[in-house]
Structure 1
Amino acid sequence: MPLLDRFPRHLFSQRGWGLLAAGAVSLVAAQIMGRRDLLSLSVLLIVLPLVALAGIRLVKPRFQVYREFNPSPVETDAATTVRLAVARSGVGGGRAIMEEKLPARFGESPAFRFPARSATGGTSRYEYHLRSARRGQYLIGPVTAEFTDPFGLSLHRQAIDDGDILTVTPAAVELPVTGLAGARGNDGITATRIRANPSDDDVMTRGYRPGDPMRRVHWAATARHGALMVRQEESVTTPEATVILDQRFAAFPGSSGSGFGGTSAQDSHEMLSSSTFEWAVVAAISICTHLAERNYSLRLLDPRGEPAFLRSPSAPEPEAEEFTGASGLLSIAESLAAIHLSGPHHGARERHVARDHGGQESGPDVFDDQLMDKLSAHRMRGPIIAVLGRISMAEARALAPGAGYGANAFAIIVSEKPADSEEALETLRRGGWRAVAVPASVPVPAAWSHFDQGGAAPATAAADVRRGAGVGR
């Protein structure tokens, strides 16, 4: 038997290879001895496995596979349960050994027998768990099945489904409360008093709606109309926040497609990322979660003023730039799952841009009028937060005026050498930004705490944070 183990198992089983070997020996013996009965036996021994092989490939069993992830999408370092349901949908019977193909990062692929012992209604159900420490989109599956003929002579392995995409989103970290909202307050709700003229008799009113507080009932108008009327002089508005996410290849040196991030399931290639960009992605989802919990509506842009997720293969709506509520936050998380660095040499869709002496993208495409127009369209409706990679002086000068369009403006530069960003930081601060530069080794909450409303003044706060938490300016 050890000799038979050396034969390929994708054609015949050990029994099938044994019959073929016996047939070959019988054929040689028939030739030597001149025995017709041995010749007939050798033909039978050789033909039987070949017929079984042809039959199992011509009559292929058909299956239906249903795959469910719970939860889906799943955050990094969190477990998701994969539930499989396999049912035979065509002719054929017998048993099969099945295996769920998994990306290498998930470890050994699970194998199971069909039908399962607990099969009900012709459907076998299986369950296993997955966990990923890296964000990305991963192709889970397909299920491959190994069939054998009724005599156990031949084998055939085939995929019985196409697999499904598991989206792993970056996990948000809790951020300390900071003075982001300025005059709007930190709760994300602004009460704005609108009065047509000084007289209380002339305030704007409308009909009472269920849920309106009785303190807003305008009794004079109620008496005139014969129905409950409420004041409209107080309106609650939802503040907005704009997040600029830098994703330029040149802004994150040391970028690599092999050591960071997850896999883009569409092309099975590693995402182009780096340790600093991964920090920026975690910062972006943490900031968005922090603001969404305070009832902010969110708008996400890239340095060119385009939708931040325009080039993300995992974005449900790549051209969307405004997000609200829990569903909007979920869409942001999914969009960040497979977002990657992009640049003039990374795809034909990118524009060609000039480079300055430092090798970074510059020119009118970055932080230009298109971005400023987007910021001015929401002038003073809330804070502007920029999560940036390395920027040049020219880019800092172009971005600096953008602070004038927000109630407050905050910039975090993540860089391998934060000290190299000192001049860019000073340029941003002179333009009105509260800015800090950090290495990727600093926790996101430590960098975020720089923007504490009671913290140091913008010109000196970076040094204070550096002394307390290892943050470089």
Structure 2
Amino acid sequence: MSPRAARRDLGRRLLGPLSRLTTRGRAVLAAGLTCALCAVVLGQQDLLRVGVLLALVPVITVLVLGRARYRLACARSISPVRVEVGKPAQVVLEIANVSSTRCGMVLAEEQVPYTLGSRPRFVLPGLESGERRAVSYPVRSDVRGRFLVGPLSLTLTDPFGMGEHRRSFTARDQLIVIPKVAALPPVQLPGDWSGSGDSRPRAVSASGEDDVTTREYRQGDDLRRVHWRSTARRGELMVRREEQPWQSRATLLLDRRRAAHRGDGPESSFEWAVSAIASVAVHLASRGYAVRLVDGTEGQESANPWAHIASSGGESTSSAVLDTLSSVAPGGGIELQRAVHAAARAATGGLVVAALGEIDEQDTAMLASLHQAGTNCVALVADTASVINDAALFTQVRERTLAQVEQLRAAGWDVVPARGREPLEQTWRRIGSGRSLGGVRR
């Protein structure tokens, strides 16, 4: 080590403890040094004793504080971990002194994203050995997303408030802010109870093992069900037939093209579409549907189309969809094409519900291909024209949207355009009416 580096290292070691001084400690140290200097100049021994005493108190304090072996533990819990936009969640911090000595006053400071609110700070009195203290604070976000809460930093001070010592934790917890979910009313949906399951049980002893217990492989079947003897005999991949309850399936298609939506922030048509898909997912899952979300994410076409099967009540399915929607963002111009391709692979019978923005003739032709035998399609169309201030552009967008709505209806879709700022519940209630078209009764 060079002499200059050695001097720098020595300086850091000597001055390092002084960096723990608080403003009060620095003031007392400066007062003591000033008194000592004045005592030397004036030749006053009593004043010198006072100055030395004042200077030694903060120095000894930070030395003792730095050598103390404080051990603090922290546990954090967020309730609920999944919360809707605009609703609060509660964060609870439990701080424990697991050392054998008492620690002084503790300043706790939590790191949170600015979206969740201001940075919380707490002052805790001294903690006895083994003592635990719990503090809580609320967080709230007006935008969707996944936010990391933490880490927590603790600052310990001495009883005189002259020195401080910082301890930091690394643990962080995630808060998921999901879109607004509307309580949709029950309506008669097309395609109920069409989807998965082998509905025709037959006795093995009556027809033979290969004929009764096997069938052709379908996209999404578990490869562990492959029946190799039947596969070798028939020359095509066969799987074992398993008796399952006949379950409805619904494919939820989100149009997340940036060019297809208008407006900014929570009032934009894109956020309306996201909230619509979230509400439909919760509604259908509660009715026993197995739901699948397609939004044009790359690689989604090859994914297992029924990776999330509804449980009793559908909590697991809806939670998976809501978690995905919490971080979905507008994309480019190819996302709708990808979503339609993924939906075509997944929607082999059952229900397709699409939340769309502005569509053109090419988009209508792609969507029309989803309406096949055994597949029923419903489209919720966002009102993108309501945010336009220019009258001529407003009329142009409205007429173009209504024309594409008519074409999509002619292709067999049940299309329900949103009417301005009407609640989503009212839009959903018009499914199957076949009379509503952009606020005009036909």
TM-score (norm 2): 0.70
Q: Secondary structure at the residue paired with 2:95? A: strand
Once the 2 structures are TM-superposed, how far is the Cα of residue 170 of structure 1 from its aligned partner?
Answer: 2.7
Q: Secondary structure at the residue paired with 1:323? A: coil
Aligned counterpart for 1:429 among listed residues 409, 416, 428: 409
Question: Partner amino acid for 1:450?
Answer: R
Structure 1 pair 75/24, CA: closer, same or farther in 2 (3 Å)? Answer: same
Q: Could you tell me whether the CA contact under 8 Å between 2:151 and 2:171 is conserved in 1? A: yes
Q: What corresponds to 1:330 in structure 2? A: 319
**Separation in 1 of the partners of 2:375 and 2:25?**
78
Once the 2 structures are TM-superposed, how far is the Cα of residue 247 of structure 1 from its aligned partner?
Answer: 2.1
Q: What corresponds to 1:291 in structure 2? A: 284
Q: Could you tell me whether the CA contact under 8 Å between 1:170 and 1:333 is conserved in 2? A: yes
Q: What corresponds to 1:109 in structure 2? A: 120
Deviation string, structure 1 residues 88-136 (Cα, Å, up to 9, x no partner): 24465322233353444445725241556xx894322334444545433
Q: Could you tell me whether the CA contact under 8 Å between 1:97 and 1:146 is conserved in 2? A: yes
Structure 1 pair 366/426, CA: closer, same or farther in 2 (3 Å)? Answer: farther
- Greater mean alpha carbon deviation, residues 154-163 or residues 394-403: 154-163
Q: What corresponds to 1:84 in structure 2? A: 93
**Separation in 2 of the partners of 1:49 and 1:138?**
41
Report the aligned-residue RMSD. 4.0
Structure 1 pair 92/439, CA: closer, same or farther in 2 (3 Å)? Answer: farther
Q: Could you tell me whether the CA contact under 8 Å between 2:296 and 2:339 is conserved in 1? A: yes
**Separation in 2 of the partners of 1:304 and 1:103?**
27
Deviation string, structure 1 residues 264-312 (Cα, Å, up to 9, x no partner): xxxxxxxxxx62222122111110111111111011112467549x9xx
Residues 1:450 and 2:439 aligned together? no
**Separation in 2 of the partners of 1:41 and 1:115?**
30
Aligned counterpart for 1:277 among listed residues 270, 273, 276: 270
Q: Show structure 1 runs of 5+ residues with no match.
A: 1-9, 207-231, 261-273, 311-317, 344-360
Once the 2 structures are TM-superposed, how far is the Cα of residue 450 of structure 1 from its aligned partner?
Answer: 2.4
Aligned length in residues = 375
Residues 1:72 and 2:47 aligned together? no
Structure-to-structure mapping, 1:37-52, within 5 angstroms: 38-39=47-48, 41-52=50-61
Question: Partner amino acid for 2:437?
Answer: A
**Separation in 1 of the partners of 2:424 and 2:410?**
24
Once the 2 structures are TM-superposed, how far is the Cα of residue 86 of structure 1 from its aligned partner?
Answer: 1.2
Q: What corresponds to 1:461 in structure 2? A: 436
**Separation in 2 of the partners of 1:247 and 1:40?**
76
Q: Could you tell me whether the CA contact under 8 Å between 2:100 and 2:129 is conserved in 1? A: no
Structure 1 pair 194/89, CA: closer, same or farther in 2 (3 Å)? Answer: closer
Aligned counterpart for 1:163 among listed residues 145, 163, 172: 172
TM-score (norm 1): 0.66
Deviation string, structure 1 residues 163-199 (Cα, Å, up to 9, x no partner): 32222223421212233234648xx999955779xxx
**Separation in 2 of the partners of 1:405 and 1:44?**
93
**Separation in 2 of the partners of 1:82 and 1:322?**
32
Q: Secondary structure at the residue paired with 1:404? A: coil
Q: Secondary structure at the residue paired with 1:383? A: strand
Q: Could you tell me whether the CA contact under 8 Å between 1:301 and 1:307 is conserved in 2? A: yes
**Separation in 2 of the partners of 1:73 and 1:434?**
32
Q: Could you tell me whether the CA contact under 8 Å between 2:77 and 2:91 is conserved in 1? A: yes
**More helix per residue: 1 or 2?**
2
Q: Show structure 2 runs of 5+ residues with no match.
A: 1-18, 213-240, 387-397
Question: Partner amino acid for 2:320?
Answer: S
What is the percentage of aligned positions where both structures have the same residue? 27
Residues 1:140 and 2:149 aligned together? yes
Q: Could you tell me whether the CA contact under 8 Å between 1:238 and 1:295 is conserved in 2? A: yes
**Separation in 2 of the partners of 1:130 and 1:96?**
25
Q: What corresponds to 2:356 in structure 1? A: 388
Aligned counterpart for 1:413 among listed residues 375, 381, 384: 381
Structure 1 pair 275/110, CA: closer, same or farther in 2 (3 Å)? Answer: farther
Structure 1 pair 96/140, CA: closer, same or farther in 2 (3 Å)? Answer: farther
Structure 1 pair 183/49, CA: closer, same or farther in 2 (3 Å)? Answer: closer
**Separation in 1 of the partners of 2:162 and 2:121?**
25
Question: Partner amino acid for 2:152?
Answer: V
Structure-to-structure mapping, 1:200-349, within 5 angstroms: 236-255=245-264, 259-260=265-266, 275-303=268-296, 306-307=299-300, 322-325=307-310, 326-343=315-332
Once the 2 structures are TM-superposed, how far is the Cα of residue 248 of structure 1 from its aligned partner?
Answer: 2.6
Once the 2 structures are TM-superposed, how far is the Cα of residue 140 of structure 1 from its aligned partner?
Answer: 2.7
Q: Secondary structure at the residue paired with 1:99? A: strand
Structure 1 pair 90/406, CA: closer, same or farther in 2 (3 Å)? Answer: farther
Once the 2 structures are TM-superposed, how far is the Cα of residue 58 of structure 1 from its aligned partner?
Answer: 5.7
**Separation in 1 of the partners of 2:304 and 2:73?**
35
- Greater mean alpha carbon deviation, residues 44-53 or residues 386-395: 44-53
Once the 2 structures are TM-superposed, how far is the Cα of residue 385 of structure 1 from its aligned partner?
Answer: 0.9
Once the 2 structures are TM-superposed, how far is the Cα of residue 85 of structure 1 from its aligned partner?
Answer: 1.8
Q: What corresponds to 1:401 in structure 2? A: 369
Structure 1 pair 127/17, CA: closer, same or farther in 2 (3 Å)? Answer: same
Deviation string, structure 1 residues 20-40 (Cα, Å, up to 9, x no partner): 242243144235314466456
